[in-house]
Chains A and B, each alone.
Chain A
Amino acid sequence: MKKYAYFPGCSLEKMALSYHKSSLETTRVLGVELEELEDWNCCGATTYFHLDEILANTLVARNLAIAEKQGLDFVAPCSACYKNAYFTNTYMKEDADLAEHINYALEADDLQLSGDLNVHHLIDVFANEVGPEEIKKKVTNPLKELRIAPYYGCQIVRPRKNGENVEDPQFFEELIRAMGANPIDFAYKTRCCGGSLLLTNRPAALDMIRHLLQNAQNSGADVIATACPLCQVNLEAYQTQVNEEFGTDFSTPVLYFTQLMGLALGIAPKKLGIGSELVSTLPVLSQFLKKEAR
């Protein structure tokens, strides 16, 4: 059983509890162990970077150093946390001066970081570490004919990390096929959800959310699948406001990919946090909500 140091991040503690639960449930069935990083701190999302770059990298480095001490690779389910962790880890190798500053600060907590560990987004564990073929073998409740919009958002694919396809990635679609469902052709799949603009420039954020919901609806999505707490909240919790603001009538459920994966793997909906949505999933999911538990 492959084991990872799992960094839930602040939003998963409560706001995205269903993501947390469904991540642990699905990986368990797939034979992957996520061990929560001990005594982790907030990685600063995008906000620290407004203030001081060395500090921002140090906060991220502390979490990475704890994983390195445990001898495990690092996994983050939140795209912003993942992007921060990925780049700080890379800079440790590329920028000796920055690395020295960071390690000096980490000493205050008896830690140090070499940057030798691998950093993954949770979806990468499913798409590349386990792989769609293995997942398919474990699917007992295929989500037949469910049309799922694969919403990548920004930071899983951008900035470019390792020569990957940033314009038209396909790994999310493959995971959706592995669930037995249909990935729809979603043109805006890597367009930004507005991120934290919702707090700082609401008109801009609502406009960005509206564009995404419109594109998903036009493409015939039954449900939007996300891999990031911020994307999920922006797309789901603000649908009412978008509707009020623009006179639209969106009611598209937005679920974490792990929740949909969990259903396909035959896990009981309750264990996946299904039922705490603001936009009801019942109309589209009812036929897949089987009670018998795995």
Chain B
Amino acid sequence: MADKPTFSQEISNLMYAAHGSPLNECIQCGTCSGSCPAVEFMDQTPRRLIGMINADLKEDVIDTNTYWVCASCYQCTVRCPSRIDIAGAMYAVKRYSMWNKTYADDLVGPVFSETFMKTIARSGRSYEPILAPTYIFGFGAKEFFQEVQGATKMMLKGRIPVLPPRIKRLKNFQNMIKRIIPMGDEE
């Protein structure tokens, strides 16, 4: 009987198009954490997160904000002496938590990703103002105000579009998506 995969293997499997080394080759050197521009805002450093994945601490890993704070800048990935794609691993943990709906409830990141995805499936192109209201309420009042200020400035300068652009062959486009992710004809 095959052994149940470890969390480290599960995450490595979710990185199938990446070509780095398996996560268990991490030597805990800390180069990733030392290179990370967002590390101060993470509750576990990238090095610790990789260590926790390898130690099979699944729940503890999912509970961190680390993989949502990651800006996907690949600074860690290009410097890792063990050639681990740490940024790719962060994506893999995001995917894992989203498909399993296990992320902490108060995070804005997952809501943003899901909404963005739905907008694109519908029109083929992204349209920022439609997205805005859906995730903006995850912020406090102050941030919301700042967002409105920023958006208004851009609108006044003619830099935010008024109508969502649509692609021409929308039906084909949607059929293409359905060949990857089966979905019903919603809405």
Contact = CB atoms under 8 A, between A and B. Distances in A.
Interface of A: 10, 13-17, 39-42, 44-55, 57-59, 62, 87, 91, 94-95, 98, 101, 104-110, 154-155, 158-160, 166, 190-192, 194-197, 199-205, 207-208, 211, 233, 237-238, 240-241, 276, 278
Given A199-B112, A201-B108, A39 B179 contact: no
Contacts, number: 184
A201 B72 CA distance: 13
A52 B157 contact: no
B41 to A, nearest CB: 4
Contacts of A204: 38, 40-41, 69, 71
Contacts of A159: 74, 77-78, 85, 87
Interface of B: 14, 16-17, 19, 37-38, 40-41, 65, 68-69, 71-75, 77-78, 85, 87, 91, 94-95, 98, 107-110, 112-114, 116-117, 120, 124-128, 135, 139, 143, 146, 149-150, 153-154, 157-161, 165, 167-169, 172-173, 175-181
Among the interface residues A98, A200, A241, which one has the most CB atoms of the partner chain B within 10 A?
Answer: A200
Given A42-B126, A191-B37, A208-B38, A51 B176 contact: no
A55 B172 CA distance: 15
Contact of A276 (B158, B161, B178): B158
B179 A108 contact: yes
Contacts of A276: 157-159
Contacts of A110: 172
Nearest to B94: A50
Given A44-B120, A154-B73, A155-B74, A53 B179 contact: no
